[in-house]
Structure 1
């Protein structure tokens, strides 16, 4: 059995209309199916994106890795690459523990013709310290992430 979290809000599958999460009033949210899968280490930013369903923007999934003691951002990207409903993968994270796994997941998304949109959080010194204390993740250099993504074909 795989383990999600700790320190995450949970997951939601909008295709099956099932949510296993701690989002306030999730059951009262307008559910709009779409073709965008969201992965977010930031609970607040991910929740705000989910609220955009009120404006008609639809999603396939909302996945929150939290501290990633087992399942991590890379696993979630790979899952959405394999999911036929997800046409676009939107990923927001502070950092990852294994850069090579992230690049391999990015290559898989590129090979599957699924755009992988990455918003790299924790770009300042203060926010990098916060990321380390919050998720236990080394945020790393933004320039290093950009160079690595360019090397995969972006």
Structure 2
């Protein structure tokens, strides 16, 4: 059974901002001769790794709403300079926008069942992309988008 993770995207203003950050990180990795891989840093390693790696995604919460998802392709464990364990969640480059849905703040990451995941945005649907995200959110809440 596939399980997803949800994580707050702290300091990120929009999906486009997250794409810029990811592009910068990939460019830095290539410039340093390392693998072009994206990671999400976390202290705790998921215990349900096999279920997550069975097609699971990272659902990013931006400004209090689910906004996009990204395929999870691996996990790497390590220990920092102070002896604390950490986990790097390896992510496939490329974001898939999802229907915005409110999410209350939480720390770290949380498991997310397939049945609870927001739907991908239909790229052919009228979405109001030229409107500010806050306005789009309010209009969706009212059922107008």
Is this a same-fold pair by TM over 0.5?
Answer: no
Larger relative helix fraction: 1
Q: Give the TM-score range, shorter chain.
A: under 0.3
TM-score, with length taken from structure 1: 0.24
Q: Point out the structure with max Rg over C-alpha.
A: 2
Flag the structure with higher strand content.
2
Higher relative contact order (CA 8 A, sep 6+): 2
